[in-house]
């Protein structure tokens, strides 16, 4: 027996354990069972104590708001592997110049949770890079593309396997990732200093698929304001919607994915369009595939703010539901529904991400916008808003008056009759809803129509002013007096033919394609079927400048020269009569000045529609095998026509638009004339314009301008009166003087460096959520990307421009010296003397 015992001890020692340790282990099993029971009792007691007296909301997460204003969040163990979308928007504000109620202040982003014994971790879920889990390189992908931890919360208690953490500070302090205040001041918004004593959790709600948390945040310093922030945490579907691959030839917002694969020799950069998940009900699927109209399993519902005046409410709802025509083309009926805000639903909250709303914002902003928010994994639109700023009314009033006042007596008054205003508001609502459905601006649409079509009663009644309401083709400024009485339509269509086509392209289910890649052949075929018809062309928005004159904002027709002349003829009629139309005995001139300002702005638009023809480039989205080029330079004859048109306007506009007696009588800004006059010469001699002219001349110096031939024509046209030996009036002197200053600026003769953008060619890039200047839609699609023709370069450098500028100045100097002695007009001679001294001084220095 002793031998057996010693053998056992020896074996234990060799195994690295002692009899005492062995005994301790045997004993600890019993003790551990007791301690586990004891620990469970302690934890349960701690949990009960922690939430005692708290207001509890059960749902996706159980939320406890304690009596001392702590937010305790109970996160189920079952949701640790799930993905959520976290959004942050303003519910109320004390300063609408910083934010308006309903506005998202940060891009929604995806998060997930993990935990250890001490902490709950919030991860930022990356989604831009993806891989097939079955790919051999997937293990390496996982090691290189993890989800970073952005926040850790101490586990305060446990409820079984669920953990309870304190998220008070995350939601009621100035947490950077969801803060409404910018971390650094900008030119538009100065940052404010967060005040903890004046901030608190206002309330919480929890539902099966989402949690809603409201906090009051206060700021002092440069921005003194208090905002109620509404944060939504939404559970995303385990199975993302099947995505549809984006194509630049149809204007949808999109999300970009870098797909890593061992099957290709490069990273596959793919974009998915943004669209709602519209699917037929299971029992209707076969009927849908047979081509029958069916109702979607889940329609798109927009709730219209109760703040809308009754006189406009129904027309706004009509503008929402107008899109049903487009969805019927895609096989769905009753796909879009407009409802009023519910009156007796305690769960309804317009800031809850479950609800898409048209929200009325009482501010002085003359605008509206229609952002949407997506599941970044698939591009599925989860919710959307239209922010309808009150003063958009003044915007549509001014558009309508300046563009149709010459032909429509109904708009010659300070306040439109309801039927007139409702026509314009229906367009605004439909346009913004178009954005929320995933559609971008189509600025090239209106170029599909001719002048004759825009003056045809039958054509305009059918097609309005443009093939797409996603264009900026507001009202029919081409129509002439008498056209309205003949039946010519003055407003955009309810929906354009392009809009219907685009919705079908983006939303119709393609049943015989098992993957998004397999859909491409059908999608390409749909595009090819409409390729020959310009009404189905998509024109990407250009920013910040316009290079392609066929793809512009606020324009009409495929002939900007004739359209401009007809519109200016209308403006002349309005300028002659608008004082009489708006005369109100005893009233000040504020309204008249406002209407006059709208007329000047409209005239500026017509100038800017012709200016891009100088150095113009025509872009086309092409594919291999297409018998066309992606871009061509405008020929010399077209550019010369534009040059003469612009200079004719420079010489004549003051006589009718800015006569001194009119400006004095109504108390208008006397700088209107000088501002326009400075703009026109500067548009003729720009580094970026000259670069494009240089490129076009290098490709075809016979058909296209070279820089030399272009500048020769500029000098011949600008200095025409001097060449002809005529005396110079104020207009001619201003025009010549401004042109000389432009030449001097880029001649490098002053010795002062001129900053010119020398960025490499950055055309055709995708901008992620960039805010573009849009008259009534900010076009800031939160978290979305858009194909925008980004026009910031390249430009000619000063070194490249200086020889051309110097040559032009020498030619002008010689001309002035030749003509100075022959002129009998003292003002003209004095002007020549000054310019001769001015230019010679530059050369001498």
Q: Is the pLDDT of residue 8 over 90?
A: no
Please name the residues in contact with 4: beta carbons below 8 A apart, sequence gap of 6 or more. none
Report helix, strand and coil shares of the chain as percent, to nearest 5.
Answer: 40, 20, 40
First to last CA, the chain: 118
Higher pLDDT, 252 or 771: 252
Instruction: Identify the pLDDT of residue 789.
Output: 80
| Cis peptide preceding 544, ω within 30 of 0 | yes
Q: Is the pLDDT of residue 782 over 80?
A: no
Mean pLDDT of 790-819: 91
Q: Is the pLDDT of residue 327 over 50?
A: yes
Q: Is the pLDDT of residue 367 over 70?
A: yes
Instruction: Identify the pLDDT of residue 763.
Output: 35
The DSSP secondary-structure symbol of 541 reads P
Q: Is the pLDDT of residue 87 over 70?
A: yes
Which residue is associated with the tokens 């110097």?
Answer: 806
Residue 677: pLDDT band by 50, 70, 90 thresholds?
Answer: confident
Q: Is the pLDDT of residue 41 over 90?
A: no
Q: Which two tokens stand for residue 161?
A: 């396997």
Q: Is the pLDDT of residue 10 over 80?
A: no
In sequence order, what DSSP letters do the residues of 94-117 get, joined into one string?
S-TTT--TT-BSS--EEEEEEE-S
Mean pLDDT of 329-341: 98
Strand boundaries in 480-634, DSSP class E: 542-544, 617-619, 631-633
Q: How far apart are CA 458 and CA 32, in angstroms?
A: 89
List phi, psi (to 5°) of 90.
-85, 130
Please name the residues in contact with 145: beta carbons below 8 A apart, sequence gap of 6 or more. 126, 129
Least confident of 29-33, 589-593, 642-646: 29-33
Query: 323-332, 738-747, 819-828: which has the highest mean pLDDT?
Result: 323-332
| Cis peptide preceding 536, ω within 30 of 0 | no
Instruction: Identify the pLDDT of residue 759.
Output: 41
Q: Is the pLDDT of residue 217 over 50?
A: yes
Q: Is the pLDDT of residue 775 over 60?
A: no
Q: Is the pLDDT of residue 68 over 90?
A: yes
Specify which residues 404 forms β-bridges with: none
Specify which residues 632 forms β-bridges with: 618
Of the candidates 85, 83, 151, the one whose C-alpha atom is nearest the C-alpha of residue 112 is 83
Q: Is the pLDDT of residue 24 over 50?
A: no
469 within 8 A of 323, measured Cβ to Cβ: no
Q: Is the pLDDT of residue 245 over 90?
A: yes
Mean pLDDT of 225-234: 96
Tell me what the pLDDT averaged over the chain comes to. Answer: 89
Q: Is the pLDDT of residue 778 over 50?
A: no
Q: Is the pLDDT of residue 768 over 50?
A: no
Residue 228: pLDDT band by 50, 70, 90 thresholds?
Answer: very high
Mean pLDDT of 336-344: 96
Q: Which two tokens stand for residue 636?
A: 């010399």
Mean pLDDT of 580-600: 94
Mean pLDDT of 724-733: 95
User: What is the percent of the chain with per-residue pLDDT over 70, rounded to a whole number?
Assistant: 90
Specify which residues 374 forms β-bridges with: 381
Q: How far apart are CA 313 and CA 610, in angstroms?
A: 39
Q: Over the stretch 134-145, which tens digit does the pLDDT of each residue have? A: 999 999 999 999
Q: How far apart are CA 219 and CA 100, in angstroms?
A: 16
Which residue is associated with the tokens 């793809």?
Answer: 551
Higher pLDDT, 159 or 43: 159
Of the candidates 121, 232, 249, the one whose C-alpha atom is nearest the C-alpha of residue 626 is 249
Q: Is the pLDDT of residue 99 over 90?
A: no
Using H for helix, E for strand and C for coil, what is the string for 288-308? HHCCCCECECCCEEEEECCCC
User: What is the percent of the chain with per-residue pLDDT over 90, rounded to a whole number?
Assistant: 81
How large is the C-alpha radius of gyration of the chain? 34
Please name the residues in contact with 801: beta carbons below 8 A apart, sequence gap of 6 or more. 687, 690, 746, 747
Least confident of 177-191, 254-268, 434-448: 177-191
Residue 729: pLDDT band by 50, 70, 90 thresholds?
Answer: very high
Instruction: Identify the pLDDT of residue 185.
Output: 65
Mean pLDDT of 334-345: 96
Cα torsion through 494, 281, 438, 323, rounded to 10: 10
Instruction: Identify the pLDDT of residue 202.
Output: 97
Mean pLDDT of 663-686: 85
SS3 152: strand
Residue 650 CA to its chain's centroid (Å) = 33
SS3 518: helix
Instruction: Identify the pLDDT of residue 785.
Output: 56
SS3 624: coil
Instruction: Identify the pLDDT of residue 44.
Output: 53
Mean pLDDT of 695-704: 96
630 within 8 A of 789, measured Cβ to Cβ: no
Q: How far apart are CA 730 and CA 827, in angstroms?
A: 9
Q: How far apart are CA 677 and CA 673, in angstroms?
A: 6
For the beta carbon of residue 175, count every other beta carbon within 10 angstroms: 18
Q: Is the pLDDT of residue 781 over 90?
A: no
SS3 751: coil
For residue 188, with 0-12 CB atoms within 10 Å meaning exposed, 13-18 middle and 19 or more buried, which class applies? exposed
Q: Over the stretch 426-438, which tens digit does the pLDDT of each residue have? A: 999 999 999 999 9
Q: Over the stretch 569-581, which tens digit does the pLDDT of each residue have? A: 999 999 999 999 9
Instruction: Identify the pLDDT of residue 764.
Output: 37
The structure's pTM equals 0.90
Least confident of 17-31, 392-406, 704-718: 17-31
Of the candidates 667, 659, 650, 666, the one whose C-alpha atom is nearest the C-alpha of residue 610 is 650
Q: Which two tokens stand for residue 256?
A: 């970009």
Q: How far apart are CA 57 and CA 680, in angstroms?
A: 64
Q: How far apart are CA 627 and CA 610, in angstroms?
A: 28
Pairing of strands 336-340, 254-260: unpaired
Q: Is the pLDDT of residue 547 over 60?
A: yes
Domain residue limits, the chain = 2-49, 53-236, 599-845
Please name the residues in contact with 631: beta carbons below 8 A apart, sequence gap of 6 or more. 617, 618, 619, 620
Please name the residues in contact with 644: beta carbons below 8 A apart, sequence gap of 6 or more. 717
Instruction: Identify the pLDDT of residue 14.
Output: 41
């Amino acid at each position: 027996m002793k031998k057996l015992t010693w053998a056992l001890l020896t074996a234990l020692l060799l195994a690295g354990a002692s009899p005492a340790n062995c005994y301790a282990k045997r004993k600890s099993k019993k003790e551990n069972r007791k301690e586990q029971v004891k620990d469970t009792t302690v934890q349960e007691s701690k949990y009960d104590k922690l939430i005692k007296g708290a207001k509890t909301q059960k749902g996706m997460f159980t939320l406890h708001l304690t009596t001392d204003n702590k937010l305790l969040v109970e996160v189920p163990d079952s949701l640790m592997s799930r993905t959520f979308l976290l959004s942050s928007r303003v519910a109320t504000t004390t300063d609408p110049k910083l934010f308006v109620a309903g506005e998202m202040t940060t891009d929604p982003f995806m998060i997930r949770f993990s935990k250890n014994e001490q902490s709950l971790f919030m991860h930022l879920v990356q989604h831009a890079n993806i891989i097939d889990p079955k790919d051999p390189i997937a293990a390496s992908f996982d090691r290189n593309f993890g989800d970073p931890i952005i926040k850790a919360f101490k586990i305060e208690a446990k409820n079984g396997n669920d953990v309870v953490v304190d998220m008070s500070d995350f939601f009621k302090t100035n947490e950077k990732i969801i803060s409404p205040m910018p971390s650094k001041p900008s030119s538009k918004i100065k940052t404010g200093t967060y005040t903890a004593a004046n901030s608190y959790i206002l309330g919480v709600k929890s539902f099966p698929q989402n949690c809603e948390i409201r906090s009051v945040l206060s700021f002092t310093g440069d921005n003194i304001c208090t905002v109620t922030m509404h944060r939504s945490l939404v559970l995303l579907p385990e199975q993302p919607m099947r995505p549809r691959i984006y194509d630049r030839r149809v204007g949808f917002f999109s999300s970009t994915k870098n797909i890593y694969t061992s099957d290709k020799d490069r990273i596959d950069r793919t974009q998915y369009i943004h669209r709602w998940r519209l699917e037929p009900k299971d029992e209707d699927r076969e009927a849908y595939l047979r081509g029958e109209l069916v109702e979607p399993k889940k329609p798109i519902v927009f709730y219209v703010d109760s703040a809308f005046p009754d006189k406009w409410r129904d027309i706004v709802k009509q503008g929402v539901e107008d899109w049903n025509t487009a969805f019927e083309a895609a096989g769905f009926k009753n796909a879009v529904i407009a409802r009023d805000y519910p009156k007796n639903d305690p769960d309804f909250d317009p800031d809850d991400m479950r609800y898409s709303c048209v929200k009325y914002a009482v501010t002085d902003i003359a605008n509206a916008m229609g952002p949407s928010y997506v599941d970044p994994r698939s591009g599925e639109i989860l919710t959307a808003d239209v922010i309808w700023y009150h003063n958009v009314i003044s915007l549509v009033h001014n558009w309508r008056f300046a563009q149709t006042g010459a032909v429509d007596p109904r708009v010659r008054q300070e306040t439109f009759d309801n039927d007139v205003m409702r026509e314009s508001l229906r367009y605004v609502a439909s346009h913004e809803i178009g954005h929320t459905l995933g559609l971008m601006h189509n600025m090239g649409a209106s170029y599909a129509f001719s002048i004759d079509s825009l003056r045809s009663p039958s054509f305009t009644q059918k097609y309005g002013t443009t093939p797409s309401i996603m264009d900026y083709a507001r009202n029919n400024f081409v129509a002439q007096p008498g056209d309205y009485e003949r039946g010519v339509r003055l407003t955009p269509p309810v929906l354009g033919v392009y809009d219907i086509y685009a919705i079908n392209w983006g939303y119709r289910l393609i049943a015989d394609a098992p993957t998004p890649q397999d859909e491409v052949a059908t999608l390409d075929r749909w595009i090819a079927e409409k390729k020959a018809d310009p009404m189905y062309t998509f024109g990407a928005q250009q920013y910040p400048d316009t290079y392609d004159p066929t793809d512009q904002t606020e324009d009409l027709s495929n002939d900007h020269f004739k359209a401009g002349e007809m519109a200016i003829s209308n403006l002349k009629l309005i300028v002659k009569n608008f004082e009489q139309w708006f005369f109100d005995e005893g009233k000040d001139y504020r309204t008249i000045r406002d209407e006059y300002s709208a007329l000047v702005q409209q005239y500026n638009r017509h100038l800017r529609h012709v200016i891009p023809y100088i150095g113009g480039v025509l872009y086309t989205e092409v594919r291999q095998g297409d018998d066309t080029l992606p871009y061509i330079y405008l020929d010399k004859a077209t550019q010369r026509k534009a040059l003469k048109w612009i200079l004719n306007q420079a010489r004549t506009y003051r006589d009718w638009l800015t006569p001194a007696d009119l400006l004095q009588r109504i108390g208008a800004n006397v700088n209107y004339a000088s501002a326009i006059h400075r703009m026109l010469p500067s548009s003729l001699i720009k580094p970026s314009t000259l670069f494009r002219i240089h490129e076009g001349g290098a490709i075809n110096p016979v058909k296209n301008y070279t820089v030399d031939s272009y500048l020769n024509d500029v000098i011949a046209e600008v200095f025409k009166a001097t060449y002809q030996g005529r005396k110079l009036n104020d207009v001619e002197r201003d025009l010549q003087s401004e042109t000389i200053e432009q030449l001097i600026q880029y001649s490098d003769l002053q010795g002062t460096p001129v900053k010119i953008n020398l960025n490499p060619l950055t055309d055709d890039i995708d901008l992620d959520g960039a805010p573009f200047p849009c008259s009534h839609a900010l076009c800031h699609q939160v978290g979305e990307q858009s194909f925008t023709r980004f026009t910031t370069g390249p430009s000619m450098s000063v070194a490249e421009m200086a020889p051309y500028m110097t040559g032009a100045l020498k030619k002008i100097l010689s001309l002035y010296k030749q003509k100075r002695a022959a002129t009998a007009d003292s003002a003209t001679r004095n002007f020549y003397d000054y310019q001769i001294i001015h230019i010679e001084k530059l050369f001498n220095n």
